[in-house]
Structures are given as structure tokens and as C-alpha cells.
Structure 1
């Protein structure tokens, strides 16, 4: 079986990491794996893991060049003759649809998020099977696009339990504390800094007197797009006299020591997250979580047991959850992730979907 995954670029991000992990696991299980993208920092990883990368511009949204790029993609696919195409994003979805008109290769798509409902996004529902990363996404796709239930499959994202494991060596944790002057217990917010992430609510909650012994670490970048929002967060921190308790550490290539050192990982997103990968990564390291009561978190967090669910935007509920971190169970968190959200489980689920659409001679 020869699988081709298609995505815009291979740089940092949740979709990109998922593609890299699936490529590695496909090769490990004896399958041939190819990834098509416009390139990026993770291309060497694809190749080091035994996969093949084809560079085709399936990233640009320029309609003027779309036909030429679709023809180039068709030629590349015809040459390698894959068993199945797996589309991961909308621009690749449209270009693949054009390229595959004559090739007629089996097609699977994955819907990764609550994208705007329109004809542009609808392309992601045209696969012979449509993988949804949560039941919430499945319901969203069914409601807004009328996709037949028989074509929808839920496969939760998975965490690589070998990569996300506690180390007996205390040196990384000590290094974090020394480098960033972390002298108090802290909670961690990881991910892109944007208005939708609700970090202002987290900062406001931290100003409550009951949380005076707790710091906040924000691991992520605002980029050029959200620079103004980042400045507004700094202004809020200064106005609440929290400059010594809120730490911006930038994007971190390795979050394992941060997860392990945190008292909890917090997601205060104003909009539902499609799944919540940071939540299961934290749990794999026996760290409890706090998340908004919506989206994928509803399928991960057992409220009051392995974490807390709070009403999105409710500062008081967030304060209560942060004040009650020590009451949460942590001993069974890793086992919970292993049983429900492991990388092996995810890969098996995706392979089962592939087998549904492949002729038995290709299995």
C-alpha cells in the first residue's frame, strides 16, 4: 500500500506534526509513504523517517496559477501511482480534486477544524471517507454540509507516548527554573497567541488574591499578525501588577519539560477547539488540565477527575478551577491517554479507514 498525504507546507503546526507522525508509522508498518507539499522545515524529517517528499506548490491560493499547479500535481501522482490520496487542507483539497479527475484514485480527507462554512471549505467533505478529529467536528460537518453519516469517521488525534514521557533526570526542569526565573508553581498555556485564545481572561484570573502563589507561563508566539494583541496583554499585565508572575517564553520546540513542571495546562480559548492536542500531551506527563466547556475538550476532560471544564469566558469559574488544582487526580492520567488517545490507536484508526476505500488487492 502506497499512501500520499497532501498539505500546504511542512513547517510547525498540529497538522504538520500529525503528517510527520503518520508518515513515520506507515513506514514502520511496512507501507510506502509519500508527502506532497510546497516544502518546509520538516521535509528532512519525512525523509529521515523513510518517507518520500514531493515538492509541488499546493499552498498558494492564487487562482491564476491553479490549473498549472493542478496539472503538475497530476503528473507527479501519475508517475508514482499511489494506492490512496489523503488530503489534509483546503487548497490541497481543491488542487487534488482537479488533478484526480482523470486519475480517479481513492480519496480520504481529514477535517481538522471548525472552518468557515462555505463552498471553499466544502471541498474537505468530498472524500470517499471523511475523517473527523472529534465527534464535535463530525457533528459540525454533518450539520452544515449534509454529509452522509456512512462516509464520516471519527479518529481522535494521538500522542506519541515515547516522546511525551517523564524523565528521571531533573536537569531539564532545573534548567527551566533557572533560565526563566520561575520561583513559584506555575500553570502553562501553550500555543499561538491570538485574541481567540482568551489569555486576557487567564491574566485577569491570576490577579485574584487566592492565586497569589501561582505564576503563568505562556509558551507561544503572536507572530506579525497579532502583535497588537500581544501588546494589549503586556498592558493588562502591567495594570494588574503581574509583571513578575506572567512569563512569555516564546515558541518551544520541546514542550515536554514545560508540561512536566506545570501544575496544570490551561486552555481558555473563546472558540471551540477541534480537539485539544496540548491537553492529551500534558496528561501523558501526568499533568492535569483546565479547559473551556466546549469543542474537543468535552471528549478529553472528565470534569473534576483528570481536569476541570469551565464556562468559556467565565473568570470566576476559572479562578475556582485554578484554586482547586491540587484536588485533581494525576496518578492515572498517562494510562488514560494510552487507552484512549495514543498515537498507535490513531494510526490504527486511520488505517482502518484506508482499508474501507481501497480495493482488497491494495491492502
Structure 2
């Protein structure tokens, strides 16, 4: 898609460490550069900043993760100066705290403001609802799933035309089984201490170590299976604790108390997720709080792996129960034990069939290039409305 001459996009995101919002930020930045525009990201930075630079994007360091009101005001002044200096065409915010700075800067400079609802923000008070509503005060709201869009419309009473659904995309060049060399899988197997030829069904939970991801439910479920004498699966938790050492220690204690040290492993952050999904036989997403989209349910499907996921939020759109995976009540350890038993007993042939169906569906519905094209089209719509 062609962009207006001289188009410069400013995206504002707290950090560039890990996560779906950060990944989408980089993907849209790359699309803008490929379409002939400039892509600036104001952020604290992080491990993903190198990818931004490699794709032609530009990082402007900003303490965008701060919720301190004085820092937010200072950031607004810095962003306004940046917008004027770099002749920014449109401002796109991807998180609430930096959205205040970005919105004020956009209004001060007369630039269009777009925000993406990457999560379903709960509000138990009028103050929190006001805080969340900053994401709706611009020209357009992008929701990352129909589930998120329905929430935004119900919570903020916006006109339907002001909220568009653009599902997150998957980089199908990166998440392509044909492009993952066996050596990459072998390196990961060695790093995670999995013996070659280990006959157990390997189950991967990819996501940061935080309570809402449902790790504890899985440990409980696996303990129930172990009590039945089943030791034919290996569960891998791949993700950072991001400073949540107390939660990690709780998980380690729970695993040890159930004598599951050889069955459930915390393997830490993984930079090669395509290889991780190929190493495993199926992926799980046992979130206890609804995911607004759930990229961790779509990426493994793009790699030909069925998914067992909590039956709420965006995953009911991305996982087809009985066809591309299994949907399970969230937080229900007995139900998760039964689902894991079903998935393991399905065997390689049945899982392979489901994985192929999942791959075809993911490639049809969740291409990153389609997501980027829809986002650029949304920018064009906003610019035309302003003109």
C-alpha cells in the first residue's frame, strides 16, 4: 500500500522487551518503511530494539513505561517537540500510560491520534474507567479481536464506526516449518536438557511467568495425571519471570512438592520460538484471565501444532475446538488434566492432522502482511477524514 508522500509514523509503547503489543509495533514499523515512510518508536527500549533498527525503524528513548504523572507530563512535552521536529504525520499509542502523553502531544500539534486496545482493561471504579478511556479519545480505536471490540463498545459507548477490528498477524516467513533447520531444534533440545529420542509427548506453554498465564493450573493438572501413573508427557514453561522471582519460586516449590521436576521444566526466555514449537508436539494457553487475542495460540498453529487453550477471550476465535485444538474451562485443573490426557492419547497421526488444519487456517486468517495492510489502511482513513 502506498503512503502519502513524506509520511512519518510515531508509535508510543512502554518497552520493547517482549509481548504481543511490542511485536505488532515492530511489524507495523517495518510495513511503513517498506511502503516508503518513516517509522519512529518512542519507548524505553529493550531486547527488541535491535530488530526495529534492522527493519529500518528509529528508536527515540523515552521513559514511556512510567505512570508517574510528572513523567507523563514531561513525556508529552518531549513528544510534542519530536512531532514538530520530525514532521510526524500520525501518532499511534499502544498502552494507556504513554497514551496520555501521546494524546496530549498529538492535540498540541494538531496531529491525528490512533490507539490500539491490546488488552481488555477492567474498571472497578469511575477513575479507572476514565484512565482506560484515554485509548478511545483519538480519531480511531483499533481492537485486536472481535472480543476486544465488543468490550470497547460496551465499556465506552463509542459509535461503532470509531472502533475497527484488526486481528494480530503472524510472521509466516518466520513461523514456517519449512524454514526451520533441524540444527535449530537440536540446539534448543540440548539447551533445555531433553535427551534425543525422548518418547514423551512434549507440551509447550510459551509466555512470561505471571499468574494469569495459568502455570499453576497446569502443574496441578499434571500432578493429577502423575497420580494415575502417567508420565508420558513433558511440559515446558518458556518465558521470562521479568523480575517476578517470588512467583517463579512458588512454581518451583509447587513442582517439587508434586515430585514433577522431571516432568515440568521452567526453561526461561526463548529467542527461537519457531524451533520451540517444532520441538514440541502441542502448545497450551491456560490463561486464567481472557486474552484479548492470544498470539501464543496462533503462532504454534502456523507451525502445524494443535493448541489446548482456555475457553474465553480471543482464543475462542483462534482455536476451533476439536478441529485445530481443544478448548478447556479456565482454571479448572481436573478439566485440564482430562484435556491433556485427550491430547496425548490422540497420538501423532491425529495431532498431525489437526496441526495441518490449524496451519491452513492460521495462514488464511492471521497473516502479518494482512494485519499491516489493514493498519495502514486505517491510517489512510484517518488522514483523509482529517483532510
TM-score range relative to shorter protein: over 0.9
Report if aligned partners of 1:211, 1:323 keep a CA contact under 8 Å in 2. no
Report if aligned partners of 2:283, 2:308 keep a CA contact under 8 Å in 1. yes
Listed one character per residue, the Cα deviations across residues 121-163 of structure 1 (whole Å, up to 9, x for unaligned) are 1101112110001111111111111122110000110010111
Quick check: 1:13 aligned with 2:19? yes
Listed one character per residue, the Cα deviations across residues 166-224 of structure 1 (whole Å, up to 9, x for unaligned) are 14632222333333332232100111112222212111221313742011011012233
Alignment partner of 2:99 out of 89, 93, 104: 93
Listed one character per residue, the Cα deviations across residues 98-134 of structure 1 (whole Å, up to 9, x for unaligned) are 2222311111110101223221111011121100011
Quick check: 1:285 aligned with 2:297? no
Quick check: 1:264 aligned with 2:282? yes
Alignment partner of 2:140 out of 120, 129, 139: 129
- Indicate the residue corresponding to 1:50 in structure 2: 56
- Indicate the residue corresponding to 1:109 in structure 2: 115
**Which runs of structure 2 are paired with 1:149-228 in the superposition (5 Å)?**
149-166=160-177, 167=179, 169-182=181-194, 183=198, 184-207=200-223, 208=225, 209=228, 211-225=230-244, 227-228=245-246
Listed one character per residue, the Cα deviations across residues 84-104 of structure 1 (whole Å, up to 9, x for unaligned) are 111111122101222222311
| Runs (5+) with no aligned partner, structure 2 | 1-6
**Aligned counterparts of 1:5 and 1:32: Cα–Cα separation in 2:** 11
| Runs (5+) with no aligned partner, structure 1 | none
Q: Which moved more, 1:85-94 or 1:161-170?
A: 161-170
Tell me: CA distance 1:282–1:145, structure 2 relative to 1, closer, same or farther (3 Å): same
**Which runs of structure 2 are paired with 1:65-84 in the superposition (5 Å)?**
65-84=71-90
Report if aligned partners of 1:211, 1:322 keep a CA contact under 8 Å in 2. no
| RMSD over aligned Cα atoms | 1.9
Match of 1:332, SS state, is helix
TM-score, structure 2 length as denominator? 0.88
Shift of 1:360: 7.8
Match of 2:138, SS state, is coil
Report if aligned partners of 1:87, 1:93 keep a CA contact under 8 Å in 2. yes
- Indicate the residue corresponding to 1:295 in structure 2: 313
Report if aligned partners of 2:180, 2:275 keep a CA contact under 8 Å in 1. no
Alignment partner of 2:150 out of 132, 135, 139: 139
Listed one character per residue, the Cα deviations across residues 267-289 of structure 1 (whole Å, up to 9, x for unaligned) are 11111011110111101110110
Q: Which moved more, 1:290-299 or 1:248-257?
A: 248-257
Aligned length: 361
